[in-house]
Amino acid sequence: MSYPMTMPAAVMPRQAPVGTAAAMPPGVEEAIRQRCAAELQRAYRWLEEALPKAPALSNVVPAMITAVQLYQARQYTACLEEVNAVTASLQQARWAFPTLPPL
């Protein structure tokens, strides 16, 4: 008979929540912050140009708002994940609508 190998909760290593400053060294956090800011700006500018041509893309606006809120809360890793998900969705939209600008 085999038993699953589990560690008691008291022995389990604790990790800081994703996107918090305690989870990474300051230099890494700053690099992620800068990348997140750049990706947010890039997606915003693209949406600014693309939305008049394809109003249906407005469905990604709530996710962009969430990404900005995560950035403001200094949860840069979570922000980057959110903006990357938005960018992936926009890339799929570009494949469906080739007249949209390059992303």
Helix axes 26-50, 76-96, angle to 10 degrees: 30
**Averaged over 68-78, what is the pLDDT?**
96
pLDDT tens-digit profile of 86-98? 999 999 999 888 8
How high is the pLDDT of residue 11?
36
DSSP annotation of 15 reads: -
- For residues 54 and 97, is the Cβ–Cβ distance under 8 A? yes
pLDDT of 13: 35
pLDDT band at 10 (very low <50, low <70, confident <90, very high): very low
Is-above-0.85 flag for pTM?
A: no
CA-CA distances (angstroms) from residue 74 to 28, 61, 82, 90, 94?
A: 13, 20, 13, 24, 30
* Contact between 46 and 53 (Cβ < 8 Å): no
Give per-residue pLDDT as tens, 16-71: 445 444 567 879 999 999 999 999 999 999 999 999 999 999 999 999 999 999 99
